[in-house]
Chains A and B, each alone.
Chain A
Amino acid sequence: MTIADATRPRDRLVVIAGPRRARHAMHHYPYPSYLKTHRRRWGLTQPELGQLLGGISASQISRYERLSQNPSLEAVIACEFIFEEPARHLFPGIYSAVEANVVRDAAALAEKLSGLSTKEAALKRTLLDAIVARAVSDQTTI
């Protein structure tokens, strides 16, 4: 019941590596957006982050943080670059929604290709099966 208990080996990595590596692949992301967390981690204000994203207004940054509006592709890539965090960690809500759609569509396409016995169809099915399998394994580790 000491502080050592709170800093098990998994968490010691957090302390040693600092904020940039604070969350690892096994971390759960229960909230749909972590943009505000990363912005505040580095002490950036909304206008400052807006400036880094090419002159976006502070209110737009606020909308991105609350996900009342999905960020543009340019903004997502810029955030990845700024914080050195993959988009799926910055915006787990968007990632999960897109992933679910892709998996559903992949399953539908695999079904459509199931009757074909060509090499191309087999190659495509390999990819589609991998997508579905990856989604299942990623369910607990966004």
Chain B
Amino acid sequence: MSSAELPHEKTAMAIFPSTVGFGWILFDGPLSPVDWAVSTVAASARGDQERNRRCLVRIEEHVLRYRPAVMVFEEFDTPRRSERIRSLCKSIVALATVEGLQVRIVSRAQIAACFADARARTRHEIATVVASYLREIRVRLPDKRKIWDGEKPDAALMNAAALLIVHYATR
């Protein structure tokens, strides 16, 4: 399912890097998912740079396959995200720029404002609202994380979907 033509103005792809790899989702309009997945990229003995390089190769495949008009990310230049993920996000933004795609950075405040009506504040509450809107990925909603648990891989997919909901709501 590749698109050889120019990107359609309504298509948008969100990528949410996580500790296990990255979650991504593509919409061709508001609340219209086309494709989605969580890509797991194992840590490399050669270090974070090699792991990021592997992530970037996979992301590039998705980007070239679908050529979305807009790439959406959560703000990454904050101390909340690790150095590796900040570096990866900068590389993805550079890739999108080279490919002539628009880049949109969504802040945590914008996400909070968008989901305020639904009284969703935490990531899990937001993911639950997202799952209620998108039946396609409802089965991927992870259980609420225990304080001693690590991040569930599917959380990255729900976070990416939340970014696109915010993107279309605040265009």
Q: Is the CB of B169 within 8 A of A5?
A: yes
The interface residues of chain A lying within 8 Å CB-to-CB of B11 are 30
| B66 at the binding interface (Cβ < 8 Å) | yes
| A80 at the binding interface (Cβ < 8 Å) | no
Are A28 and B114 also in contact (CB < 8 A) when A37-B35, A40-B35, A41-B136 are? Answer: no
| B108 at the binding interface (Cβ < 8 Å) | no
The interface residues of chain B lying within 8 Å CB-to-CB of A14 are 31-32
Q: Interface size class for chain B?
A: 35 or more
The interface residues of chain B lying within 8 Å CB-to-CB of A11 are 30-31
The interface residues of chain B lying within 8 Å CB-to-CB of A31 are 1, 3, 28, 34, 66
| B61 at the binding interface (Cβ < 8 Å) | no
Docked CA distance A36–B118 (Å): 31
Q: Tell me how many residues of A have a C-beta within 8 Å of chain B.
A: 31
The interface residues of chain A lying within 8 Å CB-to-CB of B28 are 27-31
Docked CA distance A23–B33 (Å): 10
Q: Is the CB of B32 within 8 A of A2?
A: no
Q: Is the CB of B3 within 8 A of A32?
A: yes
Docked CA distance A43–B4 (Å): 28
Q: Is the CB of A6 within 8 A of B32?
A: no
Q: Which of B3, B8, B34, B129 has the most CB of A within 10 A?
A: B34
Give chain B nearest CB distance to A101 CB in angstroms: 18
Are A2 and B114 also in contact (CB < 8 A) when A19-B136, A31-B3 are? Answer: yes
| B37 and chain A: residue at smallest CB distance | A40
9 interchain pairs, CB-CB under 8 A = A1-B113, A3-B115, A3-B169, A8-B30, A19-B136, A31-B66, A34-B34, A41-B135, A65-B1
**B-binding residues in A (CB < 8 A):** 1-8, 11, 14-15, 18-19, 22-23, 27-34, 36-37, 40-41, 43, 65-67
The list of the 3 closest CB pairs from A to B, nearest first, reads A30-B8, A6-B169, A5-B169
**A-binding residues in B (CB < 8 A):** 1-3, 5, 7-8, 10-11, 28-36, 66, 110, 113-118, 129, 132-133, 135-136, 139, 165-166, 168-170
